[in-house]
Amino acid sequence: MRMPLNRIAAGLVAVIVGLTGCISGKPTKAEFIARGDKLCKRFEQGVGPVTPQEDPFEQDASPEESQQASKLFEYLATELPKLADQLRKLGIPAEGAAAAKKSLGLLEASAARFAQAKTMVDSGDPAGAKSRADAGFGSLEKAGTLAQQYGFKTCGAVSQGPNPIPSPAGGTEVEIVAADFSFTFPPIAPGPATLSIRNEGKERHQLALARLKAGASAQDAVDATRSGQGTEDLIEQEVGASEPVAPGESIEFGVEFSPGTYGYACFIVAADGEPHAFKGMLGQFDVK
């Protein structure tokens, strides 16, 4: 099974098409799409050499396929934040600015997941790597949906893959405050909930959630990730990761909580190259 290269390209072009309006004057919508086609093709040519030809998550995957997957995830984890930063520095046009900012956030959210996927595949944890890679592709897919809504066709939205975190309507409203480098959670009861993350820090933050196995802690899971060990003995269920939240801003998303202990962390990478989780931005809470 070939890796879903079209999903990667779709997500990137979704952002590029939304932001290139400030390059060389103000191109028309048709020019947006034409430039996006070229950028999509160029990206496919660049990422193609590091894309596995077979599914690296199958039980009979060869070491070579796993190594190729590691190269792909490393490329995405490294290059997506660079691309987002470069596009942000261009200056986002007023028209469609909200969607453009959201797309950039989706790129950065996916990069954090691909970094985790690389760690997991390198440590011989294909199940963990697949979970994180799926979340990364889901973020890119949402960016592709924005491209389709804009009118982009050749590299627009695709229909495969999950979203990073589902968004059920209604439920208990839960306000979570992010700071540098901590989260503050109120008590949470079982059932559907709408989580609102308000960033009161000076850096961007992202909330990653997972239900832990009995006896495991969030610190155990982060330490295992940092050392390249698998987390299959620590994590019961990967709930997902939010989009990054800029300083002074808030986002909302929905999640269904079942009773248990949940770990949380922020995997946004700081300027010194370390994820915020490695700086202590992690913790856990009980739902009962």
- Based on the fold, state whether residues 46 and 139 are members of the same structural domain: yes
Which residue would you say has higher pLDDT here, 124 or 262?
A: 262
- Is 156 inside any structural domain? no
262-267: average pLDDT: 94
Choosing from 150, 180, 208, the residue where a domain stops is 150
Which residue would you say has higher pLDDT here, 164 or 33?
A: 33
Q: What is the pLDDT of residues 194-223, one digit of tens each?
A: 888 999 999 999 898 999 999 999 999 999
237-241: average pLDDT: 81
pLDDT for 19: 44
- Based on the fold, state whether residues 225 and 139 are members of the same structural domain: no
**pLDDT band (50, 70, 90) for residue 24:** very low
pLDDT for 282: 96
- Based on the fold, state whether residues 121 and 202 are members of the same structural domain: no
Res 228 pLDDT > 80: no
- Based on the fold, state whether residues 192 and 127 are members of the same structural domain: no
- Is 163 inside any structural domain? no
- Angle between the N-to-C axes of helices 126-150 and 5-19, in degrees from 0 to 180, rounded to the nearest 10: 40
- Is 167 inside any structural domain? no
Range of the domain at 246: 172-287
| Residue 169 buriedness (CB in 10 A; 0-12 / 13-18 / 19+) | exposed
Res 103 pLDDT > 80: no
- Based on the fold, state whether residues 133 and 226 are members of the same structural domain: no
Choosing from 96, 117, 150, the residue where a domain stops is 150
**pLDDT band (50, 70, 90) for residue 96:** low
125-144: average pLDDT: 77
What's CA 49's distance to the chain center, in Å? 23
- Based on the fold, state whether residues 190 and 54 are members of the same structural domain: no
Domain of residue 243, CATH code: 2.60.40.420
- Is 255 inside any structural domain? yes
CB 267 within 8 A of CB 276: yes
- Is 267 inside any structural domain? yes
- Based on the fold, state whether residues 145 and 17 are members of the same structural domain: yes
Choosing from 150, 180, 198, the residue where a domain stops is 150
- Based on the fold, state whether residues 57 and 25 are members of the same structural domain: yes
Structure tokens at 261: 């202990």
Q: What is the pLDDT of residues 39-75, one digit of tens each?
A: 655 555 566 666 665 666 666 667 777 788 888 888 8
- Is 166 inside any structural domain? no
**pLDDT band (50, 70, 90) for residue 175:** very high
- Based on the fold, state whether residues 183 and 143 are members of the same structural domain: no
Please tell me the total count of domains within the chain. 2
CB 104 within 8 A of CB 86: no
pLDDT for 165: 43
pLDDT for 127: 77
3 state DSSP class of 196: strand
- Based on the fold, state whether residues 176 and 146 are members of the same structural domain: no
- Based on the fold, state whether residues 266 and 197 are members of the same structural domain: yes
- Based on the fold, state whether residues 42 and 120 are members of the same structural domain: yes
- Is 233 inside any structural domain? yes
Percent over 70 (pLDDT), the chain: 61
pLDDT for 91: 59
**pLDDT band (50, 70, 90) for residue 187:** very high
- Is 136 inside any structural domain? yes
